[in-house]
Amino acid sequence: MLSKMGLTFAYPKPVTLISYLISVFTGESDIVLDSFAGSGTTGHAVMELNRSTGSRRRFILVEMNRDTIEAVTLPRLRAVIDGHAASGVPSHGGGFRFLRLAPSLMEKDQWGRWVINRAYRPEMVAEAICRLEGFAYAPSDSVWWQHGSVGDRSFLYVTTESMTHEQLAVLSAEVGAERTLLVCCAAYDAGDDEFPNLQFRKLPHAVLSRCEWGRDDYSVPLAEAPPPDDAADDEPAASPAPATTKRPRGRPKSRPAPAAAQGGLFGGDDEGGER
């Protein structure tokens, strides 16, 4: 079949067999994952099964070899969707999205410590943190500390710098008594109840605590990164949920230096833009 489509791939799996196995082991609305997509037989089999039985299965295909994706997998899936007369494949309809996996948000520095990946622009970090914390990514053009929100009273602010007591006092006053703000930062100088309208998450611990190490399944939502903007200092991110987060207890043992004098998790002064 592939040769009739003008495609070359060694040892492709038979579509009929894969369709049969999928029909036996999955339900009619399940998602089928193939971590080694190869020529795309699994995607073809899912579409064939949907066409023949009226089921609504979906598929996720993962392939590391870019040449295989561009030369075989994508052309085959498109041929199955549109139909390919020369190979006798009827049009199956439907569609798919082609996504490239982004680099990990976390990486280890030269001392083996977890830090935010330098490949991420500040707005991309904030988008990711918003998603992890259950906030909708909604950076404000006029309010510098509004990177995410839940409703119109709960907001999230992300910075890879440390927040001094003086900075937090100014921030708390701007937020006001009628709103709450979750501050995600490298470190902060505040006691438990000093700022009732502020809550805190420390980076990168806020990210690491959400990583599900050692699981055999990962329910991770896919989302396209937002287009880059010209924000220079602070960061932005998406997806609502409750804004109530438990405040860490205890005051930091030592007062951090002013944020401007400290390097952020990106190393040096974090100013946005490509790294």
pLDDT tens, position by position, for the chain (275 residues)? 556 556 665 666 789 999 999 999 999 999 999 999 998 999 999 999 999 999 999 999 999 999 999 999 999 999 999 988 777 888 898 899 998 887 777 788 788 877 778 777 888 888 888 988 999 999 999 999 999 999 999 999 998 889 999 999 999 999 999 999 999 998 899 987 899 999 998 887 767 666 554 444 434 333 333 444 444 444 444 334 434 444 444 444 443 333 333 333 333 344 333 33
Question: Both tokens of residue 76?
Answer: 């085959």
Among residues 25, 70, 68, 19, which one has the least CA distance to residue 41? 19
Q: Report CA 234 to chain centroid distance, whole Å.
A: 19
Whole-model pTM?
A: 0.49
The pLDDT score that the predictor gives to residue 224 is 38
The pLDDT score that the predictor gives to residue 74 is 93
Among residues 249, 240, 234, which one has the least CA distance to residue 184? 234
